[in-house]
Chains A and B, each alone.
Chain A
Amino acid sequence: MELVKPAFGLTFWMVLGFLIVLFLLTKFAWKPILKALQERENSIEDALNAAKKAKAEIEGLKSDNEKLLAEARQERDQILKEARITKDNIINEARNKATVEADRLLALAREGIHNEKMAAITDLKNQVALLSVEIAEKVMKQQLANDDKQKALVADLLKGVKMN
């Protein structure tokens, strides 16, 4: 049958044409296209890898930051703790000092007061004595203004004085 017998002419042109098309397409289409596809795939992969790397780096930085932050926080706590202790110490010291000083001052004051009191009492005693003498003098002067009274007094005094 005619249909299943390959014709010479068509086979000739087909082989020639296909080889030419194969050659031209290989040179001008397939090679550049496949190369471009490969390059693009590589560049996409590179970009993805770079992004992954950058992400890891950022993650590293983040953890570094956190570490630093934690350290800083710890240091701050340490400093705060120390400060608190120092403060307490200072306060305690000051309080002790103040107490001691106050006690001393109190003692001094007390002593002063005592001394002053004593002096005042002595003074008062002297004053009272003086006043008493003065009063007594005045009374005596009043009482001994006339002779009668003087006599009466002497008499009275004399009454008191018993002859033992």
Chain B
Amino acid sequence: MKKSPILLLLLVVFTTISSLVNAQDSVAVNNTHTEAGNEKFDPGKMITDHISDAHGWHLWGHTEIPLPIIIYSKDRGLSVFSSSHFEHGHKTYNGYMIHGNKIVAVNEMEVTDAHSATINDQITEGVYDISITKNVMALLVSIVLLLIIFISVAKAYKTRPNQAPKGLQSLMEPLIIFVRDDIAKSSIGPKYKKYMPYLLSVFFFIWLNNLLGLIPLFPGGANLTGNIAVTMSLAVMTLLITIFSANKHYWLHVFAMPGVPVWVLIILTPIEILGVFLRPFVLMIRLFANIMAGHIIALSFVALIFIFGEIHAAVGASVGVVSLVFMVFMTTLELLVGFLQAYVFTLLSAIYIGAAVEEHDHDSHGHDAHVEEALII
């Protein structure tokens, strides 16, 4: 209780900085455009740029951290170089250039101006881009953080066996117990132990990245959990675990629901089969949409300042005050959403796994899963 004013203050400071940095970014974007050809500020482009992946980590103005480009092409083989060679998409390099956030192959092998280069569609089709992009960088940072945090926590358990938790350990322990007791045990039942590592990893991975996404400064600010590739990977893992741990009761209920007339089965079985894939699909969409929406809302408030700023600087400033208040509110809300989405993803994964490994009749459990899903969507 004593610490809460300090926490509140930190929150306010954090959200204010967040807004300011976002604002700064937008100024930069704005300036680039005005310099380039006195273009109008384009909020759609600004927001899309911020929430999508990039081949460099934009810090401010024209400063960005160059990231490694790793491309494998069927025709040209592997090429690895720094993204700084593209010069913010204005130059080609090694026969590649950035076109609308994607790397495409060009006919010109030597360094030329990107605007006059010609795209080679045939080679582009055989290009596999496994560059360390902004999101991959954020992924690596979060992996390192996760390893540092939880291996140190594990060490604390080893050095102080059978004692009350201390420090970081006492922060993580309630969460680990929460995942174990309230998510795994209650949804999966007696076989929960086997799935604990996956559920814990998913929970902390999503939560940490949701929080890092709220921090506007490097190494935060990447929209990792709001990226469809990431949520798809996680959802597919849940799907694979569900399919591979499913017992014959589960498949029986999918393909031939007991106690249902044959003519109903003709309708029901396709629905059930679809349901097997629909559930992880919804998992993917939910996390992606929620986190992306959070970023879009925060950026929209920034965009408002510049839209009004174009009318007059004073109007922009006064709108900025209002925007700032809303942004503080939204960021606070996003802190909650970040935790909630991690919880929901983990809980629903556990419920799907639980439905797959459940031994007895299907009557109550499947219902629960559907009902809860409906509630959370």
Which A residues fall within an 8 A CB radius of B? Answer: 2-15, 17-18, 20-22, 24-26, 28-34, 36-37, 39-40, 43
Contacts and interface: CB of A to CB of B under 8 A. Distances in A.
A25 B140 contact: no
22 contacts: A2-B102, A4-B228, A6-B228, A6-B229, A7-B227, A8-B128, A9-B70, A10-B133, A10-B139, A10-B229, A10-B230, A13-B139, A14-B136, A14-B139, A17-B136, A20-B143, A25-B146, A25-B200, A29-B147, A32-B157, A34-B193, A36-B154
A26 B194 CA distance: 11
A8 B197 CA distance: 26
Interface string B130-155: 11110110011001001100110110
Interface stretch (B11-19, B47-55, B353-361): B47-55
A158 to B, nearest CB: 150
B154 A28 contact: yes
Contact of A13 (B48, B101, B130, B234): B130
Contacts of A18: 201, 205, 233-234, 237
Chain B contact surface mostly? helix
Nearest to A32: B154
B162 interface: yes
Given A3-B51, A6-B229, A14-B229, A26 B129 contact: no
Given A3-B52, A40-B162, A11 B151 contact: no
B5 interface: no
A37 B232 contact: no
A25 B48 contact: no
Ranked nearest first, the 9 interchain pairs of A and B with the lowest CB-CB distance are A36-B157, A29-B150, A6-B229, A26-B197, A10-B229, A14-B233, A11-B229, A9-B130, A29-B154
Given A2-B52, A2-B100, A11-B233, A25 B150 contact: yes
Interface string B228-245: 111011100100000000
Interface in B219-233: 227-230, 232-233
Nearest to A21: B143
B197 A17 contact: no
Contacts of A2: 48, 52, 100-102
Nearest to A5: B228
Nearest to B172: A33
Interface in B169-202: 173, 176-177, 180, 193, 196-198, 200-201
Given A9-B131, A37-B177, A17 B196 contact: no
A126 to B, nearest CB: 120
Contacts of B132: 13
Given A3-B228, A33-B176, A9 B292 contact: no
Nearest to A24: B147
Contact of A22 (B100, B139, B201): B201
A24 to B, nearest CB: 6
Given A9-B129, A21-B147, A34 B139 contact: no
A81 to B, nearest CB: 59
Interface in B231-283: 232-234, 237
Nearest to B55: A9
Nearest to B160: A36
Given A8-B130, A9-B131, A30 B197 contact: yes
A34 B180 contact: yes
B37 interface: no
Contacts of A29: 147, 150-151, 153-154
B230 A14 contact: yes
Contacts of A15: 233
